[in-house]
Chains A and B, each alone.
Chain A
């Protein structure tokens, strides 16, 4: 689906994206359910999140969700089309001056781990960021010890830009490197053209 974003979108309006198996849509405070709050108190889910395992009240999370303006800051839920409900979230932001986006993902429902959720859904978001948002580059910064996340970036052919040493403190008191990955618009769109050529 690379380079295929065609749906209308107005800055400030809720965003709705789709992939083969998932719907991605802007979240509001009403979406801060017990499931969502449960993910944030699950040590396995939050272990490698930049936000860490800090305790947050429902009001804190609702305020966090409400801060995303759907202009340069987005907070989308991942919803399984096949009755799977809300399974995780994306947060991403866009620097309109430098045309660089930054993206973070959390698959909170462990039943969906290792089912290729991120590769599929992040492709839809990259189409949006390199399409209507007109970004030139999108970066992601997973913890090096989060091997599944690193796999997701490498298998999606993000480029490695560098390693930040001992950049994050883990809950066990050890520290983790952080890897800087980047996808450039030209590379993403070229892949789309190549994929279309091979499937034609």
Chain B
């Protein structure tokens, strides 16, 4: 999940190694609403399109983000 971790690190302006492997919207303190908006923006930039509603809802942990960007 290194690609997802890189995107999350970019969104939160953190070093890659500061993002826990189990980072999620519920467990990672740095994952606030501003960071979440940035994550959505970063994923959309990566994919080159706007996310569908279900895709936004799935971007709540590294595994979900990895699935989104791996399509």
Contact = CB atoms under 8 A, between A and B. Distances in A.
Contact of B34 (A114, A144, A154): A114
B70 interface: no
B26 A150 contact: no
B36 A177 contact: no
Contacts of B34: 114, 148
Q: What is the interface residue range for chain A against chain B?
A: 10 to 19
B35 to A, nearest CB: 9
B8 interface: no
A152 B36 CA distance: 10
B53 A114 contact: no
B5 to A, nearest CB: 19
B12 to A, nearest CB: 13
A160 B57 contact: yes
Interface in B11-63: 25-26, 31-34, 36-37, 40, 53-54, 56-57, 60
Contacts of B33: 114, 116, 147-148, 151-152, 155
Contact of A114 (B25, B31, B32, B54): B32
Interface residues of B, number: 14
A170 to B, nearest CB: 14
A147 B56 contact: yes
B53 A151 contact: no
A163 interface: yes
B57 A179 contact: yes
Contact of A147 (B26, B32, B36): B36
B34 to A, nearest CB: 4
Contacts of A177: 53
A153 B51 CA distance: 18
A150 B57 contact: yes
B40 A147 contact: yes
Contacts of B54: 163
A172 to B, nearest CB: 14
B37 A151 contact: yes
A1 B32 CA distance: 20
Interface of A: 114, 116, 144, 147-148, 150-152, 154-155, 157, 160, 163, 177, 179
Given A150-B56, A154-B57, 5 more contacts: A151-B36, A155-B26, A155-B33, A163-B53, A179-B57
